[in-house]
Structure 1
Amino acid sequence: MQYSFSKRTMVQTSATAEISALAQQKKKNGETVYDLGIGEPVIAVDQRIISAVTDAMKQGRTGYPPAAGYASLRESVSSWHNRIAGSSFSAAESLITPGGKMALYMLLQALLGPGDEIVVCSPYWVSYPTMAALAGGQVREVRTSGEDGWKVVPEQLEAAISERTRAVVFNNGANPTGALYNSKELYALIRKVHDRGIVFISDEVYSGLVYDGSTFSSAASFPEFSETVVIVQSFSKHFAMTGLRVGMVFADQQIIRHLTALQSQTTSGAASISQAAAEAALKDADEISEHVRSTIEKRRNHLYLELNRLFKAELTRPAAGLYAFVPASTFAAKYGSDTGLAMRMIDQARTAVVPGSAFGAPGYIRISFGIPEPEISAGLEAIHQALS
């Protein structure tokens, strides 16, 4: 049977998911594959979180949760976020979602109509443009460069805003570049957006993965912008709970009520046992998140030592995130396209990476340092041998 699908849902698979699927297929075929494309911290889930999940199941906590999330968890996440971010959200200004990705999807569904626009900084996370398109909207890109630390300045942001702009989607601790904005830089950007009466969606899921003694500045730390700023957070990167799918939105109650209704008609919310896991994580939040952060920082340092050694490079380590965003020319002087180079790496070196084109930045390769050091070394060595 030939099926007919709606035009608005004719989207491509996420580039990161596609690369991951290729890697998994090779593993299924018995090949050894080094997954440097993976977008998660590959760390065992803390035993206290595992115990909370099994306890919840034994106690029968397996029914439908409240659409906005359990009241106890909403209280806990608000307190946690206020402590780490300098915000002042109440439980009523929080929403528990099945992952940070769903939080962003619902926000754009709620805010955009046909022809409306969002502004994003390029390189951007692969799903922002598709999410906007699924809501009937379009994307205006503000291009950044490695020479400027992959950072946007207020004048660039202001110039990109049009009469059809409904939101700026901003990723601090950016995927794929690791760009980290300080409080002064962040304030200046939000000020421009606030003055235009536009929503500033701050994707802060990498806020727990900040290195070299740096601190993370949250967009929610400025009380004067409380009606402008919406925060998206996630348990995935903070607590290495990616598959449990628990995200958060912090925003004005009007937005939370609207998203709660939308969630009640779609996903029904995050799974009950996943919310039990989240509550357990928050009881020992500092200890668990610091273990994840310090482990990933060691892997980042190892990746850059190996990159610079094998490819005779002088690459600078990112201040945050999970990724090295490396010029494709580092690996091959004549590489054709970054997409072609990435395919050569998976085919010839059995090492998965993601081409920069997926992030709106051709000529780069994104390499994850989420996996253990021995696998990082083996993957980079395989690339070096295959391309030399």
Structure 2
Amino acid sequence: MAKTLSFAYESPREVKVGDDETTFTLICKNEDRVVDLTGSKSIIAKIGNRSGYLRGQLISLDSPSDLHAGQIKLTFEKSTLDNFPPGFYNLEIWVIDSNGTSIYPSDKPFSFTVTSNLESGSGKTITTVAFDDFVEAMNKAASTIAKGDTGPQGKQGEPGPAGPQGKQGEPGQTGPQGKQGEPGQPGLIGPQGKQGEPGPKGDTGPKGDTGTVDNAGLTAAPAFVELKTQVDNSAVGTNMLTGTSDFSSNWHGQSSVSTTTEYNRHPSMVFTSNNTQLAGYTFSLGELQNSTQYTAGFWAKADNAGDKAHAELLGQLGATDFVLTTDWVRYTAVLTSFSDANTNISHAWCFFGVVAGNKGNVYIALPKLEKGSVSTDWCPNPTEILTQADYAKIKAAIVSLGGHL
């Protein structure tokens, strides 16, 4: 008899490192019928990964689980999650009763995901537009900030003491006035004389008080609003995936996988022949927007023409398979997220890989996910480009305009 294990409707499917309040609701079935677990002596959750068995956790029979309907509640102990790095894990439920031990599922182990929390890594880079564009917009913003009123003019200083006046000379004797002569003919106009040197520059008047600006005033400035619009629109064409140049973890499925530099010396995923199930590489995205279009793109080829590659956005209605050739070709697909994507963290990752039944090796390189329905060329995620030095320059530019961070 085939024993199965599945998530209950609306049960979480992922848990973050350190989160000891997220509860998985699991259903045990036998031949597609729920199993009555009320007579169980003990129920144990066995956890492992690709390297093998890790540990077990006893499930309390007094928990609010609906044992009559085959449902159990699994809440991970904090010590368990603190020792599990982010990645994919396998799960089995061992039910011990008077008849012996039943293990669910009876075929391949059940899978769940442990994701990283905000403290799992230290920040190194930030995402922003080009630094020169930012400084130009900040200069525009500064021109819209009102200057302070001119301060009052200082009091005039007292005049210094007058020097001694020289002795006036004696007037000379006035001679007799001569007869006025006849007016002569007007002379020719002479050349224009050389322009005189400019006089000394007057003193600069007193400078008014420097105006002040806070974050509310800065963000309301027209030039800053224009910059914010540019930043919001820059999401189109931006690669939402990080780590596309290093495929060292997050493999999903049991197909043999490796990496190579097959495509123009760029890192590529290699899926070995004789794939028996869906397998690939998973990129965690945090949260997606509700009912929103995203475009997935990647380069791929196959050793055998007709083998297939696969792209999937968890949270979309369906997935896309591509029939490959033996030459490198770029494939794209427009995928739409679920209506509850931004409230359900299990709808927040992108998957690239292969389907079951391929006959030879399949190669996938330069994966990209971008917002919207227009595909653009591959580029790294902005957080993998901008450095802390750029951030220091931006901060200095804002401070020089009278703002603060």
Give the helix-richer structure, 1 or 2.
1
Q: TM range, normalised to the smaller chain?
A: under 0.3
Question: Which of the two has greater strand per residue?
Answer: 2
Q: TM-score, normalised by structure 1?
A: 0.23
Find the structure with the greater CA-based Rg: 2
The TM-score, its normalising length taken from structure 2, stands at 0.22
